Amino acid sequence: MRHLLTFFFAILALMATAQDMKSGGVLKPEQANMDIRHYTLALAIKPETQTIDGYTDIDCIVKEAATMLLLDLTHMLTVQKVEVNGRKADFRHEADLIHIPAANTWPAGKTRIRVYYGGKPFVAPRAPWTGGFQWATDSTGHPWIAVTCQGEGGKIFFPCKDHPSDEPNEGADMIITVPRGLVVAGPGLLVSTKHKGNTSTYHWRTRYTISNYCIIPNVGDYTKVTKTYTSIDGNKIPMEFYVLKEHADKAPYQLQLLERSCQIMEKYFGEYPWAKEKIGLVETPHLGMEHQSMVAYGNKFRSVKVGNEDYDWLMTHEFGHEWWANKVTNKDWAHMWIQEGICSYGDALFTREAGGEEAYQERMRNTLRRLSGKPVIWADTADSDLAYTGDIYAKGSFFMHSLRHYIGDDVFFPALKKLATDPAYTYDNMIDTYDVLRLFNQAAGRDLTSFFDFYLRTTNKFDILVRSAAEGKYEVSVTNFDQPLPVEIQTNRGLEKFTIGKQPVTVMSSQLPAIDPIGFYLKSVRYE
């Protein structure tokens, strides 16, 4: 009994300190009044105690005079002091929120909030899917530290406005101090490295808009391996791989694979988004994450053959997020299929380039087999927990595959590139499904709402009925979709193209016709 009670109280203690955090959701009015412009994280990371300590500056514009400023920060860290525009301010830190009341009102205009804090951040139980800090060691015994927080948000280790609709327009600075001998890898460009006593401080800076879950330090016994990439627009971009010293010999070839992935992504989606900074890769103790200009990589240098080319699926997928998530960003997690589904479709386009059209089609048929058929949009506002399902990857990707066939390559591929390159949809301008729909409507010259909704908001499959009308004569219709559906049908004469709808179309064939045999659509075929 004593051992059972000890175990029971240990579980209670764990539950009391654990975090069940979600990013996004309904935007709080106090935060809707704040336009985030810049973050500066100045933190000491201490592997010996698994603690962090320092401050974060939040530069924002308060739109209208306010009685309260509101920031997100986990309850597991302790706030020591808050300053607003250089003056000490009252605060209350509870329920993962920092409330900063005004004596009278906080005036509208530029505002800097500095929060001093520290403590033991949450340890990731299953990175990167359940985020937090990883306090690992490499095979030589050196500390190896990573942070992941896509679902939980940056609030797990720095105070912020934790909503995908507002990224710091002027970028972020990370000033990270670690035990001397360790190296910090981060987003943007390395401004300086300073050594003092037993510590080293690395200052990283990005001038680009960046999501708070990408303002991430990775720490390890790294060496930097470099290469120069020439972009599709002719710009010379440094490639930097922060790899564990014990794996340095593997890095040059990994950068070759990354270069090939970048060439394919640029063909379909335009120039690499962070050309003024770098193409970055960092080895991590977790599988990987799309951290902007410093993609986390933990696939252990494993690749497979696609056509005659080596393909590292993990690296290619996470790198594809430099376009889909980091450059093209959904303004609410409810529309997360945009970044995950289109990025996954980009993986299939790598297969198309390296292995050919048939290899691409086979990949999409395999994707179809994995679908659960759930909607990928449940509501227009959602937190990260509600939005994150497996089908935002697979069904989102297959939707793009179906849309390609529905509107044709001559419309689809230019529209897809426009989505990835037009300033109306990129960087500061976050989007949702309605924006994507309007773009493709304009490109196709018709209303695609029914097609978008059918795939993204329902569990439906196209119900295609094939009815025998006479010997060698069949009537084919789609019973549950109101728009004409272009479809290929295999007859005894080969593959023929038809446009079917609720009114039956006559198909002549001496053999039973096969509907959409290549597999462009999510469908159910009935024969009568």
Question: What rounded mean pLDDT belongs to the chain?
Answer: 95
The predicted pLDDT at position 15 comes to 37
What tokens appear for 78 in the block? 């302790």
CA pair distance 382, 26, nearest whole angstrom: 7
**Do 239 and 231 contact (CB within 8 A), yes or no?**
no
Report pLDDT for 13: 38
Cα separation, 75 vs 53, whole angstroms: 15
328-456 and 462-527 have identical folds: no
CB 258 within 8 A of CB 279: yes
| Topology of the domain covering 21-219 | Immunoglobulin-like (2.60.40)
Three-class DSSP category at 301: coil
Measured CA to CA, the distance from residue 189 to residue 83 in angstroms comes to 28
- Measured distance CA(229)–CA(274) in Å, rounded: 12
According to DSSP, the β-strands at 218-220 and 236-244 are: unpaired
Tell me how far apart the alpha carbons of residues 524 and 511 are, in angstroms, rounded to a whole number. Answer: 19
Q: At what angle do helices 433-444 and 409-421 cross, to 10 degrees?
A: 140
Q: Are 400 and 520 in contact (CB under 8 A)?
A: no
Q: What values do phi and psi take at 254, rounded to 5?
A: -60, -35
Q: How far apart are CA 359 and CA 302, in angstroms?
A: 20
Q: Which tokens belong to 110?
A: 């530029």
Query: pLDDT at position 390, please?
Result: 87
Backbone CA torsion sign across 175, 135, 98, 208: positive
Element of type H or E holding 23: none
The whole-angstrom separation of Cα 432 and Cα 444 is 19
Residue from 268, 483, 277 nearest 360 by CA: 268
* Distance in angstroms (rounded) separating the CA atoms of residues 124 and 523: 40
pTM, whole model, 2 decimals? 0.94
Question: 3-class SS at 229?
Answer: strand
- What pLDDT, on a 0 to 100 scale, did the predictor assign at position 20? 65
Report angle CA 191, 196, 202 to the nearest 5 degrees: 25
Angle of helix 391-407 versus helix 357-369 axis, rounded to 10: 130
Q: 147 Cβ partners below 8 Å, 6+ apart?
A: 131, 132, 133, 134, 156, 157, 216, 217, 218
Are 465 and 513 in contact, with CB atoms under 8 Å apart?
A: no
Collect all residues with Cβ–Cβ distance below 8 Å to 108 and sequence separation of at least 6: 61, 62, 63, 64, 65, 66
Please choose, from the candidates 21, 40, 287, 325, the residue with its C-alpha nearest in 3D space to the C-alpha of residue 149.
21
Sequence ranges of the domains in the chain: 21-219, 328-456, 462-527
**Is the Cβ–Cβ distance between 156 and 43 less than 8 Å?**
no
Peptide bond into 486 cis (omega under 30): no
Q: What is the CA radius of gyration of the chain?
A: 26
Residues 6+ apart with CB under 8 A from 11: none
H/E/C letters for each residue in 146-204?
Answer: EEECCCCCHHHCCCECCCCCCCCCCCEEEEEEEECCCEEECCCEEEEEEEECCEEEEEE
Beta bridge partners of 238: 228
For tokens 């909607």, the residue is: 375
The DSSP result for 105-132, as a single string, is EEPSEEEEEEEEEEE-PPBPSBTTTB-E
CA distance linking residue 451 with residue 454, whole number of Å: 5
In which element (H, E) is residue 46 found? strand 34-46
Which helix H or strand E contains 395, and what residues bound it? helix 391-407
Chain position carrying tokens 């001038």: 207
Name the fold adopted by 328-456: Neutral Protease; domain 2 (1.10.390)
Q: Report, as ranges of residue numbers, the positions in the chain whose pLDDT lies below 50.
A: 1-18
Q: How far apart are the C-alpha atoms of 175 and 186, rounded to whole Å? A: 10
CATH fold label, 462-527: Immunoglobulin-like (2.60.40)
Instruction: Tell me how far apart the alpha carbons of residues 351 and 143 are, in angstroms, rounded to a whole number.
Output: 37
What is the distance between the alpha carbons of residues 410 and 445, in angstroms, rounded to a whole number?
13
pLDDT of residue 475: 98
Reference 464, options 494, 512, 502, 520; nearest CA is 502
Say if residues 313 and 277 touch (Cβ distance below 8 Å).
Answer: no
Query: Which residues lie closer than 8 Å to 170 by C-beta, 6 or more apart?
Result: 37, 38, 59, 207
Can you give the pLDDT at residue 1?
A: 39
User: Which residues, 6+ apart, have CB-to-CB distance to 87 below 8 Å?
Assistant: none
